[in-house]
Structure 1
């Protein structure tokens, strides 16, 4: 269930500029004709000044991960020089300042009036920030609106564990999880730090609870059942429960339908409190408890308002992102929590007898790896059978797993004699900590094999032996 790291993006012939993105954003504003989204929209000249400064920084060689990104900010967050309820602040809120330091450019500030949705002007949209993202005006938006506006406009929303960002209860809206995660990387750093034993993954078969009888309209119920089926097909173990708010006992995450239906804008204007309460009822848990939450549309490119929200324990943001990525088909890289990687070659591989020692510690699968042609496997006298990795002249296939610092220490303690942790060279030019063995314990050589799975397949038909 852990998603794999993405392949490197192809480098375009000409990198897009921040100035060009700002120009296209204002063109999209004109096309969309939705002035009600904005409480303050900056003058194009002022935004271009910021964008050209970003372009100059890039040209000078600075690494700006958000260069070319245009952002909207909810009006409750300060933006330097922009009016707020407290006057005109001289400095931006820390989350905003971190985005702009990384190359993002703020287009304007949005409100939370009862506005219409991005894809159906007769329906409620919930938050100008989410609508601006859905319409492609901005790439990212910061808001306090949470899951509901994201669902109503078919965009993603990531609400990290409280305290990981320096501003409480901020959600990031984006078209897809990858842009949101990129923004979180530069914003993370609040008054809470990651626990040393934080779980970074839920294994290949995460356990997910979901409401057995949610009160949903027909379309929303159909969409929700589709997500349950999709996750089941991906290997998750889903269990209907009567009251999912009771907690996470026995489960890695809760799966919730984000909204029960899509109210008309006229109904929202006539009864804003009633409509708001009905829409928020399904995901109230994410706002009340100390949790992490990720909201996504039911399928990539699906503009229906019936998204789903994954809720996980505090600091298990990575698990929520990985589960949500099953719906969006995106390759999710690790959230910037502390962790250490280890490469395994034998019984700790996925599907092998000792893999549970990793998954029970909350290790996150980081993908397959190959070594340089400098190693070889030998058969060890262990139960279950395991290989030892020594210096030699063969390429070996293994897997990379990431653990929290405390989990890494506990994993090392489980290895025992004759295993040791040592560095190996990988074929991508990097080195990594790997499970190897003391040369004195070497058994029969397995020189003809590049992978332990290959040897296991051989022994399943030919019987356990050292074929050297």
Structure 2
């Protein structure tokens, strides 16, 4: 039989240069024909000068995480030229390689996909239309939902307020959580800092409240119910509550971002009434000092009925992680202070002591594997645990991240014969891990993971594990 040679590996796609991306942005701007979105649109020549400067910095070897990113900025946030200097949040993005296309306004703008419907503000519409990659605004969640884009508004004070002429704080709009998270990380560093005991995670079964009584259109109601079902399927525990608050014992509150999608004609006839109605689901967030993450109902869905995850101040990471259930995007840590710890035994997910980590607000960071330099022995503890000692095998474990105060409490619970010491991982890094001071006990040399031994013990019964 004749067989064909295997297909060659795909050639990696080179990301567009900043210059190419700016040219594409202006082409898309012309195609969209939405001049009402902009209060100030920079001249093509000026934007290209900035883009070429970014390309030269990249060519010189500088690492710019936002190279090739086009940015729009709402009128309530200063940009160089009007006035003379940019707001700190804008300056941090442009220093990372973003190029400002122009400034957007607010009004009864049409939505991105339906010009008969309200869009909220030009920043969200410009992102939805693909003209820009990111936008900064003080408009919050509602414009994001009306245009089916992502909005992240962090805890007030985590972003610098210099040059921001509004009290509501800055939101970043993007087509996905990952670019929004990247921009948020680069801008972070304001007047407030995280408390030492901040919770970084909510465990495998987070408790999420949602309002019981909502006045929603049929389409918005169906979309919200679909989100509740999806969160439940992911392992979250959802419970209705009588009012839009985060009750004690709950990790977050999820709400429909808007109750319906009014038309332009209705908004012009009753601007105050429409504005109040659109904000009714999320307006309390600023009053209660909450962090917010708004995402579309489903990835790529252009319907305007997104959901907003609200978390307590400084628990932004929990909201970001919960939102990934709707967007199917991996999420990396927000830059809050924390300590990473690798565990190998009873602290693993699904094991008896994992609750000690989740009760401390630890965040699961993913599986890890050591180099060939360790082995496990079975210790005489209750519950049974392995001791990780020097050897010649690779071991599977998990990485967990704790706030500084939570780390101190976790370390205090270990007791003899456990200690925290470095292990070398197969990615070349060294990580703090739970190890053993003693090597006494039956060897578990045939197992590369504690779960492997647990499966053996549960089926084979008490016998020599070696």
Give the TM-score of the pair, scaled to structure 2. 0.95
Q: Does 1:182 align with 2:182?
A: yes
Q: CA deviation at 1:90?
A: 1.6
Match in the other structure for 1:458: 456
Q: Does 1:165 align with 2:164?
A: no
Match in the other structure for 1:195: 195
What 5-or-longer segments of structure 2 have no aligned partner?
Answer: 1-9, 162-166
Q: CA deviation at 1:199?
A: 0.7
Distance in 1 between residues matched to 2:190 and 2:204, nearest whole Å:
31
Give 1:26-45 correspondences, 5 Å limit: 26-45=26-45
Deviations 1:38-64 (A, max 9, x none): 000000100000000000111111111
Alpha carbons of 1:41 and 1:11: their partners in 2 closer, same or farther (altered >3 Å)?
farther
Q: Does 1:130 align with 2:124?
A: yes
Match in the other structure for 1:206: 206
Distance in 2 between residues matched to 1:390 and 1:320, nearest whole Å:
38
Match in the other structure for 1:445: 443
Distance in 1 between residues matched to 2:11 and 2:392, nearest whole Å:
34
SS in 1 for 2:283: helix
Distance in 1 between residues matched to 2:80 and 2:380, nearest whole Å:
66
Distance in 2 between residues matched to 1:95 and 1:244, nearest whole Å:
31
Match in the other structure for 1:5: none
SS in 2 for 1:390: strand
Tell me the number of residue pairs that the alignment of Structure 1 and Structure 2 aligns. Answer: 451
Match in the other structure for 2:395: 396
Deviations 1:154-183 (A, max 9, x none): 000000000000025100000011001000
Q: CA deviation at 1:11?
A: 9.2
Q: Does 1:141 align with 2:143?
A: no
Deviations 1:415-461 (A, max 9, x none): 0000011111111111111100012x521111111000010011111
Give 1:226-375 correspondences, 5 Å limit: 226-245=226-245, 247-375=246-374
Distance in 1 between residues matched to 2:15 and 2:116, nearest whole Å:
39
RMSD: 1.1
SS in 1 for 2:350: coil
Contact kept, 8 Å, 1:347 with 1:386, in 2: the verdict is yes
Match in the other structure for 2:4: none
Q: CA deviation at 1:410?
A: 0.8
Contact kept, 8 Å, 2:453 with 2:465, in 1: the verdict is no
Distance in 2 between residues matched to 1:59 and 1:182, nearest whole Å:
22
Q: CA deviation at 1:102?
A: 0.6
Contact kept, 8 Å, 1:216 with 1:261, in 2: the verdict is yes
Contact kept, 8 Å, 1:379 with 1:443, in 2: the verdict is yes
Q: CA deviation at 1:269?
A: 1.1
Deviations 1:259-291 (A, max 9, x none): 111000111111110000000001112222211
Contact kept, 8 Å, 1:446 with 1:466, in 2: the verdict is no
Match in the other structure for 1:3: none
What 5-or-longer segments of structure 1 have no aligned partner?
Answer: 1-9, 83-88
SS in 2 for 1:161: coil
Distance in 1 between residues matched to 2:269 and 2:249, nearest whole Å:
43
Q: Does 1:152 align with 2:146?
A: yes
Distance in 1 between residues matched to 2:464 and 2:383, nearest whole Å:
15
Deviations 1:112-141 (A, max 9, x none): 011100000000001100000000000000
Contact kept, 8 Å, 2:379 with 2:386, in 1: the verdict is yes
